[in-house]
Structures are given as C-alpha cells and as structure tokens.
Amino acid sequence: MMEDRIHHNVRLDQKKTKLKRKLAEGNSSSVDNLVSSNEKILYFLKESTSSRDKGFEMAQLRVQNQAKKLALKEMQEENKILLTSLDSIANSTTREFIRSEQERIIKKRTEDQQQPPVAPEIYGKYFGDIGSRGSNLPEY
C-alpha cells in the first residue's frame, strides 16, 4: 500500500513536471510568435516610411523641375522680347510696350546678377529657431 502511494506520488510529480514543461514551452512559443510579429510590423513600418519619404522626394523633384521649366519658358519669352527690333514695329503703342518690357527685363537680369545666390532653405522649416535666444543652446 505504501509502495502504491509512493508510486502514485511519483507519477503525480512526473505529470506535474510534464505539465509545467508544456506550459513553459507554450509560453515560450507564444513569446516567440509575438516577437516575430512585432519584428514583421516594425519592418513594414520602416518600409512604409521609406516609401513615403521617397514619394515625398519625388514630388519635391517634380515641383522643382516644373519651376525650372517655367523659368526656362519665361526666359525664352523674355529673350524673344529682347531680340525684337523696335524699328520693325509700326504701331507706336505696341512699340512703347515692347520698349518698356525690354527695360524691365534688362533691369531684372541686372539685379539678379548682382545678388548673391540664395542658399537653399533646407533646415529653416524644421529648425527655424537654431541659434536664437529661445533655443536654449549654449553660445558657440
């Protein structure tokens, strides 16, 4: 009888140990699945951000390209006006308009040549207060 009881207790201990092992394995598996899922989500978020950033850069380049095309077209039109001979224009009102446009274009180009090129506004929109008194940065 005592032997049966010991044997029964040993079997219960074995069952408890086996059950604990299964629970631990299940918990470990659940944690591994959670970590794996989180890694996948993080990867997709990074890819999404990268894709969005590339799309934004492409949109900026398109806008810059359109601005350059517009400036080129404007310059071509201005060149046509500058190359127009005032002597070939019979109508005095049209001749005076073309002459005033030629003066305006020459003045504008002279001013553009005298001004130093403007540095691109890269950081200003993000860090507009750099170096100001309210930036809490030490003196350089």
In a domain, 131, yes or no: no
Interval 80-136: pLDDT, tens: 999 999 999 999 999 999 999 999 999 999 998 888 766 555 555 555 555 555 556
In a domain, 138, yes or no: no
Tally the domains of the chain: 1
Confirm whether 107 is domain-assigned: yes
Question: Would you list the DSSP string of the chain?
Answer: -HHHHHHHHHHHHHHHHHHHHHHHHHHHHHHHHHHHHHHHHHHHHHHHHHHHHHHHHHHHHHHHHHHHHHHHHHHHHHHHHHH--GGG---HHHHHHHHHHHHHHHHHHHHHHHSPPPPP-SSTTT-TTTTSGGG-PPP-
Domain assignment of residue 14, yes or no: yes
Q: Is 86 inside any structural domain?
A: yes
139 inside domain: no
Range of the domain at 26: 2-113
pLDDT digits (tens, 9 = 90+) for 16-71: 777 777 777 766 777 888 888 999 999 989 888 888 888 899 999 999 999 999 99
